[in-house]
Chain A
């Protein structure tokens, strides 16, 4: 890895990790998926001409990587082992529950809606860039965002009602 990749990693690895997580890469795959993003970035770096900010460029790579991992993840459901938490980890569990709740809700909307929502709402990428990244029109991106919000709210409400 050259110094340029190292600097990209230092500056953006944590964002990429979070991005992948909310795109639906399972927690136990995150490290590998994150590594894959930077390997691809390293390979493609010579082609990078600065048409976008490095962060959004990395997000573009992450979108594709996440898609692959998500598909793989769907084939292998989480085992009960991975889900068990010791009673002494109460606080850790509370913290995670809040975050898992959003991931759980995100699992319930469509992939395209999820991508727009995570890019714009969580990563705060401007809508025009979201549209460019996802190769759709700005109007489409907005409409997906609206549908995503509606779907997420519905999912969350359902959770609230059930419990």
Chain B
């Protein structure tokens, strides 16, 4: 019996959208205009999604007998629309809006990720104080990105990880991820054979952050180092 695996379910969930009617009702409650993005623009036309659906076994799964339990039909899944209506007509706008809905692709681009600093067209939409916001955003993203790089380097290139934590220390001495940085540095020191320094810093960490959620990890490291 086929069974949708976790990744396939997640893939479907990412594409789930509410029925336009449901959103329009919320918009009315809030007295804001809302235009549902046309389904056609969001539906993945690709055969990839169709084959994913086939793999997931949409119809077979219903036969598992578990299906009877479902809740009110508020939701509407784009994928299902794509499968049941090959060319969905774009729904009529539900309310007049001052600005047209951004295309989904644009919306995706607007989301900053560590790999891609925000170009922030969205930021413009929100009134902000006389802003360094746009200018500062890339720098804001640099910090977590640096930590992620250090973390990733830890296993294979501890020396590089250490260098990255030093860079973090220099650029963001009291950054939001300073504690993470210190833990990574500890690990990096231990892994690159600088045991004495690792132990010294681990003790300092214990003293400085007695309630840190990283403490068990640091103590485990200390125990390992002192048994070596």
In the assembled complex, 26 residue pairs joining A and B whose CB atoms fall closer than 8 Å, in A order, are A3-B98, A4-B125, A8-B125, A10-B97, A22-B13, A27-B75, A28-B71, A34-B23, A45-B126, A48-B126, A48-B128, A53-B111, A78-B69, A94-B61, A96-B70, A97-B62, A98-B9, A98-B12, A98-B61, A102-B9, A136-B213, A137-B213, A137-B214, A140-B213, A156-B3, A156-B4
Chain B residues within an 8 Å CB radius of A92: 73, 80
Does any Cβ of A come within 8 Å of B35's Cβ? yes
Digitize B14-39: 1 where CB-to-A-CB distance is under 8 Å, 0 elsewhere: 10111000110111011111111100
Given A11-B102, A78-B71, also A31-B22 (CB < 8 A): yes
CA distance A9 to B31 in the complex (A): 11
Tell me the complex Cα distance, A45–B183, Å.
35
Given contacts A126-B113, A137-B213, are A98 and B4 in contact (CB under 8 A)? yes
Please name 8 further chain A to chain B contacts, defined as beta carbons within 8 Å, in addition to the given A98-B9, A99-B75, A156-B5, sorted by A numbering.
A13-B26, A14-B17, A28-B71, A31-B29, A48-B126, A55-B122, A96-B70, A100-B71
In the complex, the answer to whether A91 meets B80 with C-beta atoms within 8 Å is yes
A11 and B71: CB pair below 8 A?
A: no
C-alpha spacing A26/B177, complex, angstroms? 35
Interface status of B84 (Cβ within 8 A of chain A): yes
B residues touching A (Cβ–Cβ < 8 Å)?
1, 3-6, 9-10, 12-14, 16-18, 22-23, 25-27, 29-37, 56, 58-59, 61-62, 64-75, 77, 79-80, 84, 97-99, 101-102, 107, 110-114, 118, 122-123, 125-129, 131, 133, 137, 140, 144-145, 147-148, 151, 176-177, 179-180, 183, 212-214, 217
Size of the chain A interface, CB-CB below 8 angstroms: 74
Q: Which residue of chain B has its CB nearest to the CB of A34?
A: B26
Q: Which of A28, A78, A97, A105 is the one whose CB lies under 8 Å from B61?
A: A97
User: B179–A137 contact, CB under 8 A?
Assistant: yes
